Chain A
Amino acid sequence: MVSCPTGTIAMAKEVNGKGYNYAYPINPELCNGCANCAMVCPDGVITVYKTKI
């Protein structure tokens, strides 16, 4: 959200099993694979793949 330069991820309205609003890709089309989100994530939950189309 703060780290993502393209506005791809945001906090979900739903909560996960721990009771937290989790991060999820709200606009997956905007993702450019910079992996800023993954680098900053304290819980290390993000894996990033990038391919040419």
Chain B
Amino acid sequence: MVDAIGIKEIIKPENLVYAKTKIMTDNTLSYCPGCGHGTAHRILAEIIDEEGLQSEAIGVSPVGCSVFMYNYLDIDWQEAAHGRAPAVATAIKRLLPEKFVFTYQGDGDLAAIGTAETIHACNRGENIMIIFINNGIYGMTGGQMAPTTLPGMKSSTSPYGRDVKTMGYPLRITDIVATLPGTYYVTRQSVHTAANVKKTKKAIRKAVQYQKLDKGTCFIEIVSNCPSGWKMTPVQSNKWMEENMFPYYPLGDLKTPKD
């Protein structure tokens, strides 16, 4: 059927169903095959495009696999020190209140070294969006244990599995943040299926609206995979994530606006 019409007839602007947004630059992503970061970046870029935020957005990138996020989304960026992104974003939003300010952080950045900055920015109700990519491991540095690593999960610093007696329990930081009155919208999503991609996009769009209305901190956790760190294939890792991560970090809204 394709041959019957000819490719040239099909590839026309009016027939376009989906194309990568121009907010994503053409730089090759540095992520491992199958990594959720790529998808998360793209849907964030799509929202920035659809909501016309390119000249309003200022992003704060973390230290972690996504440290080079500023090469992939065509907006103004600031690279923060490990864990400090919420403090950096606080100043940006206070000094440039009309801009759309957000941080994008991993589990070590947000829930280990940056715990104080995370909790206090949320406690002050800073009018920013925080995107938290939780894959239960430190990817960039080679697969070490993270605060969100599951009990029994193997990593390079928990080679026999996470032992809760000596290493503590996984930290559900999102639950803690949801109890703070300064947070307005707290949700946990994923990006491993098209249906979930749509839900996550909806969540990000809501966060954009709430920031325009000056409502407080919007905190979006995205439970994601790390095929390299977990030592699985991408398809295996998504299945493992569904079977193991989701029961501990259930998807859904933890805090929705009352009004």
**Which residue of chain A is the closest to B239 with respect to CB atoms?**
A2
Check if B17 sits within 8 Å of A33, measured CB to CB: yes
The proximity string for A residues 2-35 relative to B, scoring 1 for CB distances below 8 Å and 0 otherwise, is 1100000000000000001000000011000111
Check if B16 sits within 8 Å of A42, measured CB to CB: no
Residue among A3, A36, A42 with most chain B CB within 10 A: A42
Pairs A–B under 8 Å by Cβ, sample size 24: A1-B235, A2-B235, A28-B2, A29-B1, A35-B18, A35-B194, A36-B194, A38-B17, A39-B194, A40-B39, A40-B197, A41-B38, A42-B31, A42-B38, A43-B38, A44-B24, A46-B20, A47-B20, A48-B19, A51-B5, A51-B9, A51-B12, A53-B1, A53-B4
Contacts A3-B193, A51-B9 known; A42 to B35 CB distance under 8 Å?
yes
Which residue from A38, A40, A50 sits with its C-beta under 8 Å from B193?
A40
Separation of A50 and B5 alpha carbons in the complex (Å): 12
The proximity string for B residues 174-204 relative to A, scoring 1 for CB distances below 8 Å and 0 otherwise, is 0000000000000000011110011000000
Separation of A36 and B235 alpha carbons in the complex (Å): 16
Check if A49 sits within 8 Å of B15, measured CB to CB: yes
The yes or no answer to B37 lying at the interface (CB within 8 A) is yes
**Which residue of chain B is the closest to A38 with respect to CB atoms?**
B18
Check if B15 sits within 8 Å of A50, measured CB to CB: yes
The proximity string for B residues 5-48 relative to A, scoring 1 for CB distances below 8 Å and 0 otherwise, is 10001111001111110001000010101111111001000000
Having A39-B198, A47-B16, one finds 12 other A-B pairs with CB under 8 Å, namely A3-B193, A38-B20, A39-B194, A40-B194, A42-B33, A42-B36, A44-B24, A47-B19, A48-B17, A49-B11, A49-B15, A50-B17
**Which residue of chain B is the closest to A21 with respect to CB atoms?**
B33
**Which residue of chain B is the closest to A49 with respect to CB atoms?**
B15
